[in-house]
Amino acid sequence: MDSPIKVRFPPSPTGFCHVGTARMAILNYLFAKKNGGTIVFRSEDTDKARSRPEFEEDIKEQLQWLGLSWDEFYRTTDLVSTHTDAMQKLVAEDKACVSEEESKKEPGTMVQVVRLRNPGTAITFTDLIRGEITFDTTELGDFAIGRAIDDPLYHLAVVVDDASHGITHVIRGEDHISNTPRQILIQEALGYPRPQYAHYPLHLGADRSKLSKRTGDVAVKSYREKGFLPQALLNYIAVLGWTAPSGKELLSLTEMIEAFDIRDVHKSGAVFDMEKLRWFNREYILKLTDDEFAAAVLPIMEEGMQGRGLTWDQGMATKLLPVIKERVSVWSDLSEQLAAGEYDLFFKDPTPAAEEIPGKGNTKAAAATHLAKLHELYIGASAEIFDTPERLKDTVWEYATEQGRGAVLWPMRFSLSGLARSPDPFTIASIIGRDATLRRLDAARQLLI
């Protein structure tokens, strides 16, 4: 590309940063970084009634959380003088007119409107994703570009700002295609160069309907609060409608930049699939080092245990980390499991119901005999067998096989956990340790005699 690349993030700060905003920023970021370009963050706060500083701050914060950055920052309302100069120029050259018109919002009230004199020409531009697109602009008529000579509307403001900032490429969703002919007409009237356009398809819901803030295009901070990792969410949004030449889905930001080509963006809408996003997140969790995983999980564990009135035991929680790693796709899974009491058994002895300990087809007497034998085998073995589930299993496996594995192992697991569904008994025993295992086996046996 001959001239230096310059793109923009132009979010409207009328709501929290949502997935659509993030996707726009990611595609622009990848394109700019791949081509050594510059990125402008422009907060398009022309909707004065709905724009809020807290929304602008949230958009900036969430994009940075995802790992994105920019080189320049502007607010549209800070640039009004340049918009006013442009409208005055258009009026002076008779390319726009100022008129008094009845307000559509307040019938009977006259308001000032600045309208571009539309020459009614055909507009053709080459979209980097969709190819050549032609519009007949006659039907647009003389369209409004300002509420007053010093109060620009979106189309005028965005054209002036893009030209002022030297934007070379406009990469945005397909819902902006209909805006393009108006903006090109304004560019031509002002004598501005035309940037190159790329309109990507919007992502869809599971039923292939267009997503909106009300139907699933939720705020990025919502995913953040649920415990999705930023690198997982970034990766998933980036490949939502774009496939790297390698076909790989799991890509670091550096790998995405190296592989990105705007022409590889799909021409049809991609489905935003929560299960697929959870899969991405789990893959990134599995990539965490033990220290990184512990740093993320232990605070959640401590809060959850204390919330259930249990004494916090960091040593026990640390032993649980491998079990937790197999059971979560996102950190909110762990919070839900803790709230449901699924890990209580590791922090306090259970109170199993005597009638449930034997299991199906086992008498209380037989179950008591099996528990006594398990207690005998474990108390007579070296303490080192509690270091791994495999050694615990090997110690009793011959007996369990002779007597019937279900008849032996169900009472064992229920004695240790007090639950019909839990990790296998050898995993539990290796985590709670020798003393707690022997104590629980004997307590359950006592209930049966």
pTM: 0.91
Domain 1-70+201-287 fold: Rossmann fold (3.40.50)
CA distance 395 to 248: 45
Q: For 403, what's the count of Cα atoms within 13 Å in the CB-facing half-sphere?
A: 20
pLDDT by residue for the chain (449 residues), tens digit each? Answer: 567 999 999 999 999 999 999 999 999 999 999 999 999 999 999 888 899 999 999 999 999 999 999 999 999 999 999 999 999 999 999 999 999 988 887 888 898 999 999 999 999 999 999 999 999 999 999 999 999 999 999 999 999 999 999 999 999 999 999 999 999 999 999 999 999 999 999 987 766 666 655 444 589 999 999 999 999 999 999 999 999 999 999 999 999 999 999 999 999 888 899 999 999 999 999 999 999 999 999 999 999 999 999 999 999 999 999 999 999 999 999 999 999 999 999 999 999 999 999 998 899 999 999 999 999 999 999 999 999 999 999 999 999 999 999 999 999 999 999 998 899 999 999 999 999 999 999 999 999 99
Structure tokens at 221: 């901070």
Is CATH 1.10.10.350 correct for 354-448?
yes
Determine contact, residues 396/374, Cβ cutoff 8 Å: yes
CA distance 88 to 195: 23
Same fold, 1-70+201-287 and 354-448: no
> What are the boundaries of each domain within the chain?
1-70+201-287, 288-346, 354-448
Pairing of strands 38-43, 110-116: unpaired
Give backbone dihedrals phi and psi of 226, rounded to 5 degrees, phi first: -75, -10
